[in-house]
Chains A and B, each alone.
Chain A
Amino acid sequence: MVSQQVKILIVVASLALLAYIVPHSGSFVVLLATRTMAFAILAMSVDILLGFTGLSSMGQAAYFGVGAYLTAVLATKFHFGMGWDFWLVVVLGMLLGAALAALFGLFAIRAGGVYFLMITLALGQCVWGLAYRWNSLTGGDNGINLSGRPNFGLDLGNDVTFFYLVLAFFAASMLTMYVLVRSPFGRSLAGIRERELRMQILGYNTWLHKYLAFIIAGGFGGLAGVLWAHTNGHVSPETVVLTTSVDSLLMVVLGGAGTLVGATIGTAIVFGLREYLSTLVPWWQYALGGVYVLTILYLPMGLMGVPRRIRQWLGSHGGKEGSKKLATKPS
């Protein structure tokens, strides 16, 4: 197994490589990378719940949506957040996401398993319903068009500049979540995921732990929404729709639940399929559906678990010698 330091180095190096390569490729790649990064923050927040706490939320798009709508409404109705106050919107978006999660968590955390899934689905639909119908605030089905990106000395209207900003937010979010899941708090979340009853017996307030994880995930969802609004320049009920939540879940499962890098890789693959493949061939959605089915049936630990699966497979099929060789190999 690769040691933790090496893994961190690989991630940092890939991000640096991305920061170098993407601006030198076409404008399409810049936009695709920006969208992926912004959405990956949402996917990682889903992973905090699914991979590290064991809660499968079907309504994560709600926090994403309020972040995005907050940005769009403030920008178009109050001309707020188009200069230095953009940073204030970022903070507000996170706070709103977290506050909404704090409210929703009161209902959702009580339930477990499939009921948690259903109740978060219903909560997500509540937010979608408001976005879809509350015409005077959200513009209804048409949504809201933003008139441009903020400019505070740094002109975010430039796609490359904006890419760097989103990359910075993505890296900061990943670092924060990484520190969080490796902290004692994150460890007790993993304990709840593995065996909640045991954690209760050990004296942990598991409800509070799950509630806090839910709020933190909501906050990051809000942040992702703020960035998403400016990436797209358009916010519509599509942002909050059920399939957005489901997509984010698939991305996590595809990459490998319980690994933040996996959530990012999953996001990149789904976005790559949807945005790049759709420009090439008309049957791209079959590929997306196929990825869903294959992931579910053949990837128990996601793509991040593939190396381990191959090792196991070689180990069981290649006899003892093969497995010994692999075990000593610093792969």
Chain B
Amino acid sequence: MNTQFWVVQAFNGVSYGALLFLVGSGLSLIFGVMRIVNLSHGSYFLLGGYVALSVINATGSWALSLPAAALAIAALGIAMERLFLRSEGFEYLRNATIALGLAILFTLAFQSWQPHIVGSRSEFAVVAAIAAVLFYGLLSRISVVPIETDVLRQVLLTVGFAFLFQQAALDIWGGNNMDINPPAVLTQSIVVGGIYLPLYRVFMIATAIAIGVVLWLAMEKTRMGAAVRATVDDAQMARGVGIDTNRISMFIFALGAFLASLGGVIGGAFLGIYPGLDFEMLPLAFAVVIIGGMGSLGGAAIGALAVGLADNFGKALFPEVSYFTLYAPMVLILAVKPTGLFGRE
């Protein structure tokens, strides 16, 4: 337990916090703007890592995989938000998506029951197409439960998507633990005062700071940022003064997915990418959001730092209760101030 131990642990904690900031800040903004508890946020992290792996396999470029994965998952986030969470105006597309999904499941079931009828691919496509049309006709006759005001239904819906994403990732990328290898430049170490610091972790911290500063500037200095802040404070009032909260919620959801998947690519280099990582990151991201305060960017930064340090020192100093020491303060903060340390009422 010398100085070196403390410095190294603190450095690891801060760099882990940098990663958590990427995941947590998006979750926090989504909650602040839309009041949605998004349990598929961990899936964006995991899927981001997987997409990056595919990009690296195809092109060999790690640098390209960062924006490619983040943009792909942001598009997925937009689709999820537009079609299912705020589906006004997109009812037909939503029904079509569900009908297609149901039709494929139905055809798969039919196939395993009567393999001689649905043998070839073309037969499969025909049966699925017929089923899709029938399901679409049925679905367009059933009214959808309004979930905009129902927190529990939103939560369960996002969990359902998390399960779907989990299985899809397993089917596409398999169940093995995979690593994202950053370029050799970043795998070196630098020596500061006799202590070896991995350059990759320095890169993580720098990235998080850069993104944090850009986000902060966008939030505080631009018109769009002001509109976002207004929506966090009072969505109804914001609508009243002519802010298009619908567009803002879409934008924020995409941003959240973008940041989380970026975190997945960056974090994949030292966490690895494996099934189950989604539900491991999710509670940590929530800890960040809750400690920092929901909808607050500065809060997310402090929350991420706190969780990163608490996690690292907890595991090093008292491993047996390390997660407890992480989540217990979260409970206390929530009990005293439900909106989190820096959340606004």
Contact = CB atoms under 8 A, between A and B. Distances in A.
Interface of A: 50, 56, 58, 106-108, 110-111, 113-115, 117-119, 121-123, 125-126, 128-130, 132-136, 241-243, 246, 249-250, 253, 280-281, 283, 285-300
Q: Which label, helix, strand, loop or mixed, suits the secondary structure of the A interface? A: helix
Given A249-B156, A285-B166, A293 B84 contact: yes
Contacts of A280: 112
Interface of B: 35, 37, 39, 84, 98, 101-102, 105, 108-109, 112, 142, 144-145, 147, 151-153, 155-157, 159-161, 163-164, 166-167, 170-171, 279, 282-283, 286-287, 290, 319-324, 326-328, 330-332, 334-335, 338-339
Contacts of A107: 331-332, 334-335
Contacts of B35: 114
A297 B331 contact: no
A56 B286 CA distance: 17
Given A107-B335, A118-B334, A241-B279, A293 B157 contact: yes
B321 A130 contact: yes
A122 B286 contact: yes
A327 B270 CA distance: 65
B331 A287 contact: no
A111 to B, nearest CB: 5
Given A133-B324, A281-B109, A292-B157, A298 B84 contact: no
A96 to B, nearest CB: 17
Contact of B160 (A111, A117, A289, A299): A289
Given A110-B338, A111-B334, 20 more contacts: A56-B151, A107-B332, A118-B334, A122-B334, A123-B327, A125-B330, A130-B324, A133-B324, A135-B320, A242-B283, A246-B159, A250-B156, A250-B160, A286-B101, A286-B105, A286-B167, A289-B167, A292-B161, A297-B157, A300-B145
B156 A289 contact: no
B37 A119 contact: no
A151 to B, nearest CB: 34
Contacts of B331: 107, 119, 122-123, 126
Nearest to A246: B159
Contacts of B324: 126, 129-130, 133
